[in-house]
Each structure stands twice: as structure tokens, then as C-alpha cells.
Amino acid sequence: MTSDPISDMLARIRNALKAGLPSVELPGSRIKGEILRVMKEEGYITDFTMTNGVPRVLSIELKYNDDAEPAIRGMRRESKPGLRKFCGVQDIPNVLGGMGTAVLSTSGGILSGKEARKRKLGGELICTIW
């Protein structure tokens, strides 16, 4: 069992992209599903499904461009179990000058940085994706 399931998810996605795999499966949870929803809305993955059985399993369809380059160039876990990072609406990072996405856990749910700014919500900075 891992102490940080979100970091584990990001590492599995990163490893699958480096290996050129079309999809990856990992243990599922509600928060992982919400993070993947944001990634799908922002165009970083093609699709994902979660089985409702026990245990829950997430299946993620990874996205590549025409040259077989992954849509995700990099990911970083920002708020970790040992050091939480919170930011107000004015402190939401602009990842790579707007070319990347920040994922936040707010009172309105898991949101991208753009959506959190639009709704004027701050929260815990989960990860950044570019």
C-alpha cells in the first residue's frame, strides 16, 4: 500500500507514457477520478473509465499526437502528505505561462486553475501538468 495514492497515479501515467503504452490501469478512488476528469477536459488524456466492483479499477486511455509524442510533457505533485500547499485565488500558479494546468481541490470540488480563477476559489494545489 502506498502512502500517497495520487503520486502513485501520476507516476504510473508517467511510466506508461515513457513506455508508449496506449492505456494504463490502476487502483481507483473518487479523488483520482475527479483529477482524471480535469485532465480529460484539458485534453491531456483521451478517456478513462472506473469499474464499480471491489476493488475499483481505473482504466486510462493515454493521448498521443501524430508523431507518437505524449500529450503530457510532465507532471508534478505539489501538495504532498508531509507538506500541504494551499493557495488563494490570486496565488494560483500560471503553469508554463499558461501552457500547462494546475489542478486544485476547492470547496467547489476538484478544478483546473482556469476554472478556479473563474469561480474565484482557492484551495489545495494538488498537482501541475504540462
Among the listed residues 75, 72, 74, 46, the one whose alpha carbon sits nearest the alpha carbon of residue 61: 46
Q: Is 28 exposed, middle or buried (0-12, 13-18, 19+ CB in 10 A)?
A: buried
CATH architecture classification, 75-129? 2-Layer Sandwich (3.30)
Residue type, 4: D
pTM over the 0.85 mark: yes
The domains of the chain are located at 5-62, 75-129
82: its cell numbers: 508531509
Mean pLDDT value across residues 64-83: 94
Q: Do domains 5-62 and 75-129 have the same CATH topology?
A: no
Q: How far apart are CA 16 and CA 88, in angstroms?
A: 33
Mean pLDDT value across residues 69-97: 94
Which three-class secondary structure string do you get for 55-84?
CCEEEEEECECCCCCECCCCEEECCECCEC
Answer yes or no: is pLDDT of 2 > 90. no
Mean pLDDT value across residues 22-36: 96
pLDDT at 1: 61
Confidence of residue 94 (pLDDT cuts 50, 70, 90): very high
Q: Helix, strand or coil for residue 2?
A: coil
Residues 39 and 66: beta-carbon distance below 8 Å: no
Average pLDDT over the chain reads 95
Number of helices followed by number of strands (H, E) in the chain:
3, 8
Class of domain 5-62: alpha beta
Residue type, 93: P
